[in-house]
């Protein structure tokens, strides 16, 4: 017998309720609630097929409406019909029987339906019965329900993975903080023996023999370099531990340009490196002024430091929409492509790339300042001897 | 079962009657049905309610029923010999309220509770959600009977009786060890449709068949029944043409369109889900009165207690009175059994009922008869 128009409308309504949410429990509450209401049923129980080992399977209650098993006739009728365990052949035989009906002594009818790749859906009707055509026509709805359940379960598995990942990430952050604190502590503790060495400064050199004076001079130079390294390392680790932007203050761009010019002009002249400032340096900004100055100083210091006589350094400011871009371009030694990432990490620059007295902390520090302020710092270089261009975008 | 009736609006009479019923020997819980016109204020009535030591349940309704009479003033107080646990669920309009959790936390022996009496503030916005959770948590092992309290003026005010006083926006539930048979029927028949509810927001129908709901509805009522909405209050016409939501092998669930919202959507008593198919229904006095008689027949058939000590609780929708007018008395007669059986009840804003067999519903424009063990 074909379905009546009213039945088709009811199936449509049930169908629309399936998969409306990706949370398993909410989806089932909505969908099974609709099954029960529209088909005028009194209980439902959803059984999930689970492997119990050694090729055996069981059907475990996954969701009930009503929720409590003592109040759920479907649950009670499942116990009377479904075995506690099945082997492969038993499962195949049970599934071949579906859908089937079980009638209780009180005249209630429990309809058992296949939920492909998931398990079994049991619906109980307390009074009257469902027509055979209705039972058969529920199969596509049940398939949709099974697919929706799979999607919900996949989403739940994904959420659990995300949670695990997030926890692992938190753990990594914690370990990183521990590591930085350890290094900072060691770096700080090195100051004590350094100070003892530094006390050589107090020796009256005239009282020493010429050989001893030379020894003291060597020790003094070594002390200065170790002190500088300790200070740089300490600054870097302090920045990476704190990791927040500095207080915003007003910066007049023209004043910034003049400060940079006065800081580097004479050094550039001494090296014979032409240093120019270009672009529109009018106006003012409110930002981490100290951080900005430190980043730009590092970039210009490096540009001048890695350029030889006649190789020009250009510092350019470009404004576009809401972005402000500083470009520091040189014609110096350039950077090999495989080192363009490493230069922003501490202690990863090969020794032959370092300037005298440089330890490779300035660009890592600049990166930390940029990250804390959410600025972008990038480098472009076509390779050795091709110069380089650093771009800072605010 | 002790039934005390009084047509007085006096708070003193009410207090005296309640004290007498509640303190009578053997009375274990009390049902209070009172009229809105009594105009009880919480300040005056709360001390009376709070001093009672037996559990209380009930509400204030547009009218109450006593025998086959309808009263618009007065009260009926019923004392039951059976034990009951009474619990209140607050925040019935609160969108964040988790009724499932609230109901699960109620400590009650469900094996003993044969009947759940449920009275709600009929103007709360999440009655359907509560009814769904009642089904999800307590299932259908017990009978359910009750309905929406409140005023026909649709003014929100305290209307639910609890041992803590007269409360608004809440539900009161009695888990009673009371044998009952429940019958539900309405008598409304298809006039036109079906129409797909293409957009709805809980109790507001926004569009039908992708057209403004108001336009489709008024056009249908005009063309199929010849009734015009021109120059009259919306409800004056709509009270005769409710919506019916299909349910397989059962009477349609009626939804009463009571007003038009500012945006043109139709406001109903009770939820109309999106994607449901609805018919516009119509009725005549004979079909409605016949259905009321059918509700009594079903209730009597399902009652398993002692027939000679039974009482009849009627929960009848106020809009059936508005539709039937002078013929309403015939409906009350149809719902009342022959013989000397106490009959009492209320005209409600929506009905909650179930006979342990059908899915639990919040009804509109429906007649409910409860045959209760006396």
Q: What is the pLDDT tens value at each position of chain B, 374 positions in all?
A: 999 999 999 999 999 999 999 999 999 999 999 999 999 999 999 999 999 999 999 999 999 999 989 999 999 999 999 999 999 999 999 999 999 999 999 998 888 899 999 999 999 989 999 999 999 999 988 999 999 999 988 889 999 999 999 999 999 999 999 999 999 999 999 999 899 999 999 889 999 999 999 999 999 999 999 999 999 999 999 999 999 999 988 889 999 999 999 888 999 988 999 999 999 999 999 999 999 999 999 999 999 888 888 999 999 999 999 999 999 999 999 999 988 899 999 999 999 999 888 889 999 999 999 999 87
How close does chain B come to A107, measured CA to CA in Å?
11
B248: nearest CB among A29, A40, A43: A40
Domain that holds residue A325: 249-393
Q: Is the pLDDT of residue A351 over 70?
A: no
A36: nearest CB among B110, B246, B359: B359
- A5, A18, A34, A67: best mutation site toward chain B, by most B Cβ within 10 Å? A67
From chain B, pick out residues whose CB is under 8 angstroms from the CB of A126: 140, 356-358
Co-location of A142 and A209 in the same domain: no
Q: CA nearest B330: which of B288, B281, B283? A: B288
Q: Does A74 touch chain B (CB under 8 A)?
A: no
- The DSSP secondary-structure symbol of A250 reads E
How close does chain A come to B357, measured CA to CA in Å?
5
Co-location of B98 and B172 in the same domain: yes
Answer with the one of B282, B304, B332 that is the final residue of a domain: B282
Co-location of A113 and A184 in the same domain: no
Q: Higher model confidence: residue A223 or residue A257?
A: A257
Co-location of A53 and A178 in the same domain: no
CATH number assigned to the domain comprising residue A379? 3.30.565.10
**Domains held by chain B: number:** 2
Co-location of A175 and A118 in the same domain: no
CATH number assigned to the domain comprising residue A34? 3.30.450.40
Confidence of residue A353 (pLDDT cuts 50, 70, 90): low
Q: Does B194 touch chain A (CB under 8 A)?
A: yes
Answer with the one of B282, B297, B317 that is the final residue of a domain: B282
pLDDT in tens, A305-315: 889 899 999 99
Say whether A39 and B248 touch across the interface (CB within 8 A).
yes
Domain that holds residue B28: 2-185+287-373
* Pairing of the two strands A56-65 and A43-53: antiparallel
Co-location of A272 and A364 in the same domain: yes
Q: Which residue of A has its CA nearest to B110?
A: A71
Q: Does B135 touch chain A (CB under 8 A)?
A: yes
Co-location of B57 and B200 in the same domain: no
Co-location of B55 and B160 in the same domain: yes
**Domains held by chain A: number:** 3
B220 φ, ψ (degrees, to nearest 5): -65, -45
Say whether B137 and A66 touch across the interface (CB within 8 A).
yes
Co-location of B262 and B306 in the same domain: no
Confidence of residue A186 (pLDDT cuts 50, 70, 90): confident
Q: What is the pLDDT of residue A234?
A: 76
How close does chain B come to A67, measured CA to CA in Å?
6
B246: nearest CB among A9, A33, A126: A9
Say whether A66 and B356 touch across the interface (CB within 8 A).
no
Co-location of A118 and A12 in the same domain: yes
- A64, A66, A129: best mutation site toward chain B, by most B Cβ within 10 Å? A66
Say whether B359 and A128 touch across the interface (CB within 8 A).
no
From chain B, pick out residues whose CB is under 8 angstroms from the CB of A128: 249
Q: Which residue of A has its CA nearest to B279?
A: A6
Co-location of A267 and A217 in the same domain: no
Neighbour count for residue A72 (Cβ, 10 Å)? 24
Say whether A70 and B247 touch across the interface (CB within 8 A).
no
How close does chain B come to A48, measured CA to CA in Å?
20
Say whether B359 and A29 touch across the interface (CB within 8 A).
no
- A71, A108, A125, A128: best mutation site toward chain B, by most B Cβ within 10 Å? A71
Co-location of B277 and B344 in the same domain: no
Q: What is the pLDDT of residue A355?
A: 65
Q: Does A104 touch chain B (CB under 8 A)?
A: no
A42: nearest CB among B194, B276, B357: B357
CA separation for the pair B86, A322 (Å, rounded) = 65
Co-location of B221 and B324 in the same domain: no
For residues A317-344, give the mean pLDDT: 88
Co-location of A238 and A258 in the same domain: no
Q: Is the pLDDT of residue A123 over 90?
A: yes
Co-location of B274 and B246 in the same domain: yes
Neighbour count for residue B46 (Cβ, 10 Å)? 17
How close does chain B come to A113, measured CA to CA in Å?
18
Q: What is the pLDDT of residue A225?
A: 79
Q: Does A256 touch chain B (CB under 8 A)?
A: no
How close does chain A come to B129, measured CA to CA in Å?
11
Q: Which residue of B has its CA nearest to A38?
A: B247
Q: CA nearest B116: which of B93, B139, B98, B94? A: B139
Co-location of B8 and B140 in the same domain: yes
Co-location of A110 and A253 in the same domain: no
Co-location of B162 and B273 in the same domain: no
Tell me if residue A221 falls in helix, strand or coil: helix
SS3 labels along chain B: CEEEEECCCCHHHHHHHHHHHHCCCCCCEEEEEEEHHHCCCHHHHHHHHHCCCCCEEEEEECEEEECCEEECCCEEEEEECCCEEEEEEECCCCCCCCHHHHHHCCCCCCCCCCEEEEEEECCCCCHHHHHHHHHHHHCCCCEEEEEEECCCCCCCCCCEEECCEEECCEEEEEEECCCEEEEEECCCEEEEEEEEEEEEECCEEEEECCEEHHHHHHHHHHHHHCCCCCCCCHHHHHCCCCEEECCCCCCCEEEEEEEECCCCCEEEECCCCCCCEEEEEECCHHHHHHHHHHHHHHHHHHCCCCHHHEEEEEEEEHHHHHHHHHHHHHHHHHHCCCCCCCEEEEEECCEEEECCCCCCEEECCCEEEEEEEC
Say whether A128 and B249 touch across the interface (CB within 8 A).
yes
CA separation for the pair A168, B97 (Å, rounded) = 35
Q: Does B108 touch chain A (CB under 8 A)?
A: no
Chain B residues 195-214 with a CB less than 8 Å from chain A: 196
A322 φ, ψ (degrees, to nearest 5): -95, 5
Co-location of B6 and B63 in the same domain: yes
Q: Is the pLDDT of residue A350 over 70?
A: no
Answer with the one of A111, A140, A161 that is the final residue of a domain: A161
Q: Is the pLDDT of residue A354 over 70?
A: no
Average pLDDT over chain A reads 88
Say whether A12 and B139 touch across the interface (CB within 8 A).
no
Answer with the one of A194, A214, A242 that is the final residue of a domain: A242
Co-location of A151 and A24 in the same domain: yes
For residues A253-274, give the mean pLDDT: 93
Say whether A40 and B277 touch across the interface (CB within 8 A).
no
CA separation for the pair A143, A106 (Å, rounded) = 30
Sign of CA dihedral A308, A310, A315, A316: negative
Co-location of B10 and B149 in the same domain: yes
Co-location of B87 and B60 in the same domain: yes
Co-location of A226 and A255 in the same domain: no
Answer with the one of A138, A161, A184 that is the final residue of a domain: A161
| Edge-to-edge strand ranges of the sheet holding B310-317 | B69-71, B63-66, B343-348, B310-317, B367-373, B180-185
Answer with the one of B231, B261, B282 that is the final residue of a domain: B282
CA separation for the pair B117, B42 (Å, rounded) = 22
Co-location of A105 and A187 in the same domain: no
CA separation for the pair B235, B252 (Å, rounded) = 21
Count of pairs with CB atoms under 8 A, one residue in A, one in B: 80
Q: Higher model confidence: residue A349 or residue A130?
A: A130
How close does chain A come to B359, measured CA to CA in Å?
5
């Amino acid at each position: 017998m074909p379905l009546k128009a009213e039945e088709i409308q009811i199936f449509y309504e049930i169908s629309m309720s399936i998969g409306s949410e990706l949370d398993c429990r909410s989806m089932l509450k909505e969908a099974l609630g609709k099954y029960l209401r529209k088909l005028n049923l009194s209980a439902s129980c959803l059984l999930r097929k689970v492997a119990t080992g050694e090729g055996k399977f069981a059907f475990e209650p996954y969701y009930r409406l009503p929720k409590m098993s003592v109040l759920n006739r479907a649950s009670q009728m499942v116990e009377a019909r479904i075995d506690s365990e099945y082997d492969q052949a038993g499962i195949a035989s049970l599934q071949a029987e579906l859908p089937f009906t079980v009638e209780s002594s009180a005249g209630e009818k429990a309809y058992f339906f296949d939920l492909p790749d998931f398990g079994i859906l049991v619906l109980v009707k307390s009074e009257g019965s469902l027509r055979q055509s209705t039972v058969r026509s529920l199969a596509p709805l049940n398939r949709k329900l099974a697919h929706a359940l799979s999607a919900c379960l996949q989403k739940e598995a994904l959420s659990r993975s995300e949670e695990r990942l997030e926890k692992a990430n938190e753990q990594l952050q914690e370990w990183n903080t521990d590591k930085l604190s350890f290094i900072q502590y060691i770096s700080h503790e090195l100051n004590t023996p350094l100070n003892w060495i530094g006390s050589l400064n107090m020796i009256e050199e005239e009282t020493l023999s010429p050989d001893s004076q030379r020894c003291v001079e060597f020790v003094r130079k070594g002390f200065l370099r170790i002190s500088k390294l300790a200070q740089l390392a300490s600054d870097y680790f302090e920045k990476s531990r704190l990791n927040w932007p500095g207080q915003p203050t007003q910066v007049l761009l023209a004043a910034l340009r003049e400060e940079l010019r006065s800081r580097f002009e004479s050094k550039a002249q001494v090296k014979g490196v032409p240093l120019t400032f270009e672009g529109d340096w009018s106006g003012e900004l409110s930002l981490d002024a100290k951080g900005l100055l430190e980043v730009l100083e590092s970039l210009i210091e490096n540009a001048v430091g890695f350029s030889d006589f006649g190789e020009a350094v250009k510092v350019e400011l470009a404004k576009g929409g809401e972005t402000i871009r500083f470009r520091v371009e040189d014609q110096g030694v350039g950077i090999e492509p495989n080192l363009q990432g490493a230069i922003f990490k501490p202690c990863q620059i090969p020794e032959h790339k370092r300037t005298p007295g440089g330890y490779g902390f300035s660009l890592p520090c600049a990166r930390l300042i940029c990250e804390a302020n959410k600025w972008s710092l990038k480098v472009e270089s076509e390779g050795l001897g091709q110069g380089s261009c650093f771009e800072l975008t605010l | 079962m002790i039934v005390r009736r009084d047509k007085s609006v006096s708070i003193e009479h009410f207090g005296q009657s309640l004290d007498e019923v509640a303190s009578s020997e053997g009375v274990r819980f009390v049902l209070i049905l009172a009229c809105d016109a009594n105009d009880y204020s919480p300040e005056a009535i709360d001390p009376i309610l709070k001093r009672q030591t037996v559990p209380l349940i009930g509400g204030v309704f547009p009218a109450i029923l006593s025998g086959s009479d309808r009263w618009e003033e007065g009260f009926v107080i019923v004392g039951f010999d059976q034990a009951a646990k009474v619990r209140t669920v607050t925040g019935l309009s609160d969108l964040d309220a988790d009724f499932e959790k609230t109901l699960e936390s109620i400590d009650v022996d469900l094996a003993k509770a044969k009947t759940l009496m449920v009275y709600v503030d009929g103007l709360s916005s999440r009655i359907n959600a509560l009814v769904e959770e009642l089904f999800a948590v307590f299932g259908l092992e017990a009978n359910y009977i009750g309905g929406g309290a409140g005023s026909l003026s649709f003014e929100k005010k305290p209307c639910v009786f609890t041992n803590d006083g007269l409360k608004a926006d809440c539900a009161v539930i009695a888990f009673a060890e009371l044998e009952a048979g429940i019958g539900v029927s309405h008598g409304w028949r298809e006039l036109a449709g079906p129409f797909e509810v293409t957009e709805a927001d809980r109790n507001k129908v926004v569009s039908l068949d992708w057209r403004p709901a108001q336009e489709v509805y008024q056009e249908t009522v005009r063309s199929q029944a010849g009734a015009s909405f021109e120059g009259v209050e919306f409800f004056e016409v709509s009270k005769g043409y409710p919506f019916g939501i299909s349910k397989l092998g059962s009477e349609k669930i009626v939804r009463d369109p009571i007003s038009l919202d500012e945006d043109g959507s139709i406001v109903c008593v009770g939820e109309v889900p999106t994607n449901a198919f609805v018919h516009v229904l119509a009725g005549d006095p004979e079909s409605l009165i016949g259905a009321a008689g059918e509700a009594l027949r079903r209730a009597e058939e399902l009652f398993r207690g002692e027939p000679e000590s039974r009482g009849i609780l009627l929960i009848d929708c106020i809009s059936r009175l508005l539709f039937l007018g002078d013929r309403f008395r015939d409906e009350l007669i149809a719902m009342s059994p022959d013989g000397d059986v106490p009959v009492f009840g209320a005209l409600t804003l929506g009905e909650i009922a179930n006979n342990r067999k059908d899915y639990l519903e919040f009804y509109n424009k429906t007649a409910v008869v409860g045959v209760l063990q006396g």
